[in-house]
Chains A and B, each alone.
Chain A
Amino acid sequence: MIDSPVQKRQDKQPSKRVAIQIEGLNKWFDQFHVLKDVSMDVMENEIIVVCGPSGSGKSTFIRCINRLETYQEGEISIFDHRLGNDKNSAVLIRENIGMLFQSFNLFPHLTVLKNCTLGPIWLRKIPEKQAIEKSMALLERVGVADLASKYPGQISGGQQQRVAIARSLAMAPRIMLFDEPTSALDPEMIKEVLDVMIDLAESGMTMMCVTHEMQFAHQVADRVVFMSDGEIVEIGPPEQVLKNPEWDRTSQFLKHILSHA
């Protein structure tokens, strides 16, 4: 499947600006060492795909970036601002980072539209009418505008995930984190979500995706990170990491994932 040549966008200019800088990140759950000296830079507009076996710490890694998880050692900076436990960091994360989850996590008691307008109205203090207009435009963009008045429990998983994308975009983030956004979906729905993600990637969003969709990695990723046992084993362009891995662990993992794809 991956052998088929994929059209990759050619016009992309590599940015010189660092969006996310991670240095010496260490995290323990009690005695368990989840992240071991993880360091990497993510450039602006760059698309990073993080893959690896379960329990390799990839979810924990990207959850650290918007401080859904705390870490005991190391530093993370967003656009040269070091994140800490202070109010400024919270605002910085809120203004810059959006996140998608495996289980969508829409707010079930609010309609699709209200899910999207909640942040803009309460946090950015945008007038309700304006927020609705903007959210409707975003829902249009992800192709679910006709579901605006439904509740999350009434729509399919793929639709929910696309609403979740619109909800994140409503806060106008510059960085989007994806934590296995398609793992809970069936193949037809995976495609509808991936299409939106590809569209996002092409619009110049900085993205970090934990995903097992190797096709997606090939098509849009600038770099692929392979993690195992809390460490970054390999990092590089998809052609290199996914085709000619340097390490045995990577090639072993890829063999498994390809035999199932």
Chain B
Amino acid sequence: MTETQRPATELKKFVPRPSRPPVVVTYGVTGWLRKHLFGGFWDTMLTVAVFSLLYVLLKPFLDWALFKAVWEASTRRECLDLSPDGACWAGVIRWFNNLIYGRYPNALQWRVNLGFAFGLLWLVPLALKPVKHKIIIGIMAVVLYPFLADYIFLGGDRSTLHGMFACLALGYLALTYINIALVYAGKRQLSLYLEPLLERVSMKYADLLSQLLCLMALSVLIGMALHDVQLTHVPIDRWGGLFLTIIISGFAIVMALPIGILLALGRRSEMPVIRWFSIATIELVRSVPMITVLFMSVTMMPLFFPNTIDLNKLAQVILAVCIFAGAYMAETVRGGLQSIPIGQFDAAKSVGLGYWHTMFLIILPQALKAMIPNIVTSFISMFKDTTLVSIIGLFDIMLMARNISIDKNWYGLHSEPLVAISVLFFFICYGMSQYSQYLEKKLKTDR
């Protein structure tokens, strides 16, 4: 009783004790082995058993793939003579160039490399910290880069408009890099030097105008510099290999999210026409095998377009793959939207945000973040699924690989190209998955 009635001044004063660094447990390699693999009799037995099993299972494969493999030969016969039960990698190596570039003329393959190099250059600023307005750079990449890439890959006589877009793309890329260089050098963005001049014309749009002016000036300069450059025409049916696979899946991956987001929002819309249209698209496309969609795109799509529009097989396939990817993505995005607590909508509404603001500022960023693993999974499967286009006669990496086995020098060489492609795909897909994990960590905000 007296305890509780003690006056406050006589209470003992509580001071939290200082924190201690966490305990670190280390064993070293032998310690780790002992703890995890040889902890006791049964542990040891199990370890031995598992390792023997692994040896038995892997030995034949390793023998075939590495120890008895032939790396240098000019025909399959030569391979078999050297080592009858080893892999014949020589054929894959001979054909490697074709696996990557398809039947693109050897002398012109630098154009493919150049095109992809520009693409990579465009992506680099997105990974740099001090760069602002990354979303605009990203959108510009989606809008302008295809024109540039198409111009470089296809070559030949193109319309002036097309050339202008390609120059615009180069101009934007140059502007981005000039700005980055200026920011790193501690100076202001290029457009800011022009802004005071334009403020006399229009105060409100001075910023935008000066940026546009810079872009135009650079593009015109580039256009004039490249005026005389003539690129030989390489028809689309010579495109192939990994190059073609990346083009098709690149379109699918880039377009999947915007299409998917629109379809997912449409499916949740309260407007019946939009909702039913979205549901019909999603369900129809999802319920049909990809192969039939591809066949239909080649055989039936021309019926829906007026004769004046000249479609090529690649464009049709890309269109089909994009719709297909979008429909799948729509359901992934919808799953993400449903994982957002209703309180977020309430809060957004109570702040006063309307539908589009709520969706694009509050809900979608959270939904997409929660869905990164699923989104990347569908990106990976899209990348792999695009190998199906070999069925309708596009010479993608899959068809090139099968062509090795009908080359008269390498007749019957089936397994090696497929294994080689698997390895190649593994590295690309594993890279995507690692990037997604990095992204998840980077975007994590709860701790």
Minimum CB–CB distance from A172 to chain B (whole Å) comes to 11
Summarize B's interface: helix, strand, loop or mixed. helix
Instruction: Report the nearest A residue to B343, measured CB to CB.
Output: A105
Minimum CB–CB distance from B227 to chain A (whole Å) comes to 42
Mark A189-224 against chain B: 1 for CB-CB distance below 8 A, else 0: 000000000000000000000000000000000000
Task: Tell me which residues across on chain A come within 8 A of B341, comparing CB atoms.
Answer: 103, 105
Mark B380-396 against chain A: 1 for CB-CB distance below 8 A, else 0: 00000000000000000
Give A21 to B369 CA distance when docked, in angstroms: 42
* Known contacts A118-B361, A122-B357: A153-B350 contact under CB 8 Å: no
Contact B445 A151 (CB under 8 A): yes
Quick check: is B353 within 8 A (CB to CB) of the other chain? yes
Contact B351 A171 (CB under 8 A): yes
Instruction: Report the nearest B residue to A99, measured CB to CB.
Output: B350
Within 8 A of B (CB), among A160-178: 164, 167-168, 171, 177
Quick check: is A101 within 8 A (CB to CB) of the other chain? yes
8 further interface pairs, Cβ-Cβ under 8 Å (given A68-B346, A99-B350): A122-B353, A123-B352, A123-B353, A151-B446, A153-B445, A154-B446, A168-B351, A177-B350
Contact A119 B353 (CB under 8 A): yes
Contact B353 A107 (CB under 8 A): no
Contact B351 A167 (CB under 8 A): yes
Within 8 A of A (CB), among B37-93: none
Quick check: is B354 within 8 A (CB to CB) of the other chain? yes
Q: Which of A66, A98, A109, A153 contacts B369 (CB 8 A)?
A: A109
* Known contacts A119-B351, A122-B361, A123-B352: A109-B346 contact under CB 8 Å: no
Task: Tell me which residues across on chain B come within 8 A of A122, comparing CB atoms.
Answer: 353, 357, 361
Q: Which of A68, A109, A164, A171 contacts B352 (CB 8 A)?
A: A171
Within 8 A of B (CB), among A101-139: 101, 103, 105-109, 118-119, 122-123
* Known contacts A153-B446, A154-B446: A107-B347 contact under CB 8 Å: yes
A→B interface (CB under 8 Å): 63, 66-68, 90, 93-95, 97-99, 101, 103, 105-109, 118-119, 122-123, 151-154, 164, 167-168, 171, 177
B→A interface (CB under 8 Å): 341, 343-344, 346-354, 357, 361-362, 365-366, 369, 443, 445-447
Task: Tell me which residues across on chain A come within 8 A of B443, comparing CB atoms.
Answer: 109
Give A103 to B346 CA distance when docked, in angstroms: 11
Contact A103 B353 (CB under 8 A): no
Contact A109 B366 (CB under 8 A): yes
Summarize A's interface: helix, strand, loop or mixed. mixed
Contact B352 A93 (CB under 8 A): yes
Contact B446 A105 (CB under 8 A): no
Contact A90 B344 (CB under 8 A): no
Contact A108 B445 (CB under 8 A): yes
Contact A68 B349 (CB under 8 A): yes
Give A68 to B348 CA distance when docked, in angstroms: 10
Minimum CB–CB distance from A72 to chain B (whole Å) comes to 18
Contact A109 B445 (CB under 8 A): yes
Minimum CB–CB distance from B368 to chain A (whole Å) comes to 10
Minimum CB–CB distance from A52 to chain B (whole Å) comes to 21
Give A109 to B443 CA distance when docked, in angstroms: 8
What would be 5 A-B contacts, judged by CB atoms less than 8 Å apart? A94-B351, A97-B350, A107-B362, A168-B350, A177-B350
Contact B350 A103 (CB under 8 A): no
Task: Tell me which residues across on chain B come within 8 A of A109, comparing CB atoms.
Answer: 365-366, 369, 443, 445
Q: Which 5 A-B pairs have the closest CB atoms?
A: A94-B352, A153-B446, A105-B347, A99-B350, A151-B445
Task: Tell me which residues across on chain A come within 8 A of B352, comparing CB atoms.
Answer: 90, 93-95, 119, 123, 171
Give A151 to B444 CA distance when docked, in angstroms: 10
Instruction: Report the nearest A residue to B362, measured CB to CB.
Output: A107
